[in-house]
Amino acid sequence: MEVFKQEHFPVNNKLHTDILEQKYGPIHAEVLRHDNVHEMKKGAERVREARLVDDKNILRTYALTFLTYDKRNIEIAGIDDEIRQGWLIGQTFRKHGYTIKKNVIDVFIMPIHTKMSDDFKVKTKKAKARLTEFYAKKSGTTPIIYGTVLEIYSPDFKNPDDGINEVDINQVNPLTGTLQGVGIPIDEIWGHLDRADENNEWDSLNERYEQAHQLSQPVVQSLHKKITLYLEKNQSI
């Protein structure tokens, strides 16, 4: 029996679905909800909820995205239209010539509902999860953040009993908004995300980075509460 080596979470270039497909074969998205930004009022919450499943219809990752991009960006809104039709987020941006990076803002173990356990085809009632900001950028342009993404992983893919490892912890950064709030431009944040793969060093920015980290914590906690309410309301867990 082939042993699949679990890789570190890819924060640049390689997509989560690339790694899923190495183990499970073709992966596709079953979209449960994807709000049409063209029909949303200004300031309204925009959500995408999807199941990433294999050819046997076994759930491999549950993904909940809070869409944060500026809908006045015509190109990104057009890409979002494609994604809403069932295309995978990372693969769609890559198809349009974008480089992808992710800013990890939390990694944790969480309880899951019996329905999700059944969809994962496991008996455990917990799973590993990760919160990220999904960055996309074309050469010569300013990076954009498409949304904040929660991924809940199949326990077969990421065993929750293994806990949170050192690399998981090292990859976690403050939210982009708090980094910008202490004077770090988004282009500079983009450049530093490459280092978060295993060796998350911010060099001369360390003092401001720590300030941003303190500012980020209550925001992340509020995001956790919002996620919990959404999942309970929609019985996703």
Helix (H, G, I), strand (E, B) or coil at 157: coil
Work out the average pLDDT over 82-107: 94
Q: How do residues 198-223 score in pLDDT, each as one tens digit?
A: 566 777 788 999 999 999 999 999 99
- Would you say residue 41 has pLDDT above 90? no
In the chain, the number of structural domains is 1
Range with the poorest average pLDDT among 2-6, 100-104, 146-150, 202-206: 2-6
- Would you say residue 195 has pLDDT above 90? no
The first and second tokens of residue 97, run together, are: 């010539």
Residue 13 banded pLDDT, cuts 50, 70, 90: low
Q: Indicate whether 192 belongs to any domain.
A: no
**Counting Cβ atoms within 10 Å, is residue 224 exposed (0-12), middle (13-18) or buried (19+)?**
middle
Work out the average pLDDT over 2-31: 75
pLDDT attached to residue 12: 62
Nearest to 166 by CA among 198, 189, 190, 124: 198
Domain that holds residue 40: 16-173
Q: Indicate whether 130 belongs to any domain.
A: yes
Q: Indicate whether 237 belongs to any domain.
A: no
Q: Indicate whether 134 belongs to any domain.
A: yes
- Would you say residue 2 has pLDDT above 50? no
Tell me, what CATH number does 52's domain have?
3.40.1410.10
- Considering the chain, what is the average pLDDT of its residues? 89
Q: Indicate whether 76 belongs to any domain.
A: yes
Q: Indicate whether 232 belongs to any domain.
A: no
Range with the poorest average pLDDT among 9-13, 34-38, 76-80, 124-128: 9-13
Q: Indicate whether 191 belongs to any domain.
A: no
Q: Indicate whether 92 belongs to any domain.
A: yes
